[in-house]
Amino acid sequence: MIPNKLKPGDEVRVIAPSRSMVIIGEDCKKIATERLESLGLKVTFGKHVMEADPDYLCASIESRVEDLNEAFRDNNVKAILTVIGGFNSNQLLDYIDYDAIKENPKIFCGFSDITALSNSIYAKTGLVTYSGPHWSSFGMLKGFDYEFEYFKKMFMEDEEIEITSSKEWSDDAWFLDQENREFIPNEGMFIINEGVAEGEIVGGNLCTLNLLQGTEYMPDISNKVLFIEDDDMAGKIYLMEFDRNLQSLMHMPEFKTVRGIVLGRSQKATAMTKEKWMKLIKNKKELANIPVIAGADFGHSTPIFTFPIGGYAKLSAKDGDIKLTIKG
């Protein structure tokens, strides 16, 4: 079930199912809203987006669920964007009105901690959801063009999208200093295992996706193409942390039919290199016969492209050339 594309005049609802909007600066709020309005979209906000528990920096479970369910039930709302990520969106899974989502399918987009919601909604309803920018991401003054273009391609156009690498990327705290940015030339995607694959997409933030294992909220990964990444919280032990999280996913019985893997770009603090990615994947004999590429523009650095969870991917990684297309 693919939601309708956006058109000028449509209402976009911003909700905070993870951390609260209270942590977002006023300049960022203004830029984000104006950028979406430049597409002709009407931006509205959930009732509880500014609530924040002092320890969790998010609203109560009840408030977050109310805003999520209300956004899906409101027929005027055509897309839902999350404020930002965090840690606790999986607290909401038992309380979501999945029937209302089935009856009112619409765009739902975010990344990081929102992986839990996007994949559970897809698993429970069949609605294609999206790993893409938060509402707050639109508040980035510089270096957002690539991200903005792929957002428009995914949500305002109908064609299959070919993924090309951004010219440069950044892992700086842009929300603290919008003017003095550090941009790094992008070496682009690279092949670890050659091959050709196509299939439905499942994925997002790996450690968050793994929170769903063994529950009714975990999507079926049979015959899927996995798009996975993780943040830099593990620092220089990222290699080992990512390895064990990937291994956990690989222990699922249906992993045997996974058709391919696309790995998102790692952050600077992870100290990951091409050689380390090669070592991590090549050590896993179970992956020897499927294509695996890395360095794709999604994850916790910027910019990112938007991809559809439950949508379709075609991947060709042969003779040093990569072609990746998505649709959803």
Instruction: Encode the chain (328 residues) as per-residue pLDDT tens digits.
Output: 999 999 999 999 999 999 999 999 999 999 999 999 999 999 999 999 999 999 999 999 999 999 999 999 999 999 999 999 999 999 999 999 999 999 999 999 999 999 999 999 999 999 999 999 999 999 999 999 999 999 999 999 999 999 999 999 998 888 888 888 899 999 999 999 999 999 999 999 999 999 999 999 999 999 999 999 999 888 889 999 999 999 999 999 999 999 999 999 999 889 899 999 999 999 999 999 999 999 999 999 999 999 999 999 999 999 999 999 999 9
Q: Do domains 11-139 and 162-327 have the same CATH topology?
A: no
CA dist., res. 59 & res. 63, Å (int): 6
Annotated catalytic residues are: 112, 229, 300
The structural architecture, per CATH, of the domain 11-139 is: 3-Layer(aba) Sandwich (3.40)
The residue ranges of every structural domain in the chain are: 11-139, 162-327
Q: How far apart are CA 113 and CA 89, in angstroms?
A: 6
Sign of CA dihedral 48, 56, 175, 82: negative
User: What pTM was computed for the model?
Assistant: 0.96
pLDDT of residue 177: 85
Nearest by Cα to 86 from 26, 18, 38: 18
How are beta strands 161-162 and 129-131 bridged, if at all? Answer: unpaired
Residue count of the chain, please give it: 328
**Tens of pLDDT, residues 212-243:** 999 999 999 999 999 999 998 888 899 999 99
DSSP 8-state class, residue 226: E
Of 180, 136, 105, residue with least CA distance to 43: 136
Tell me: domain 162-327, CATH 3.50.30.60, correct? yes
SS3 (DSSP) at 264: strand
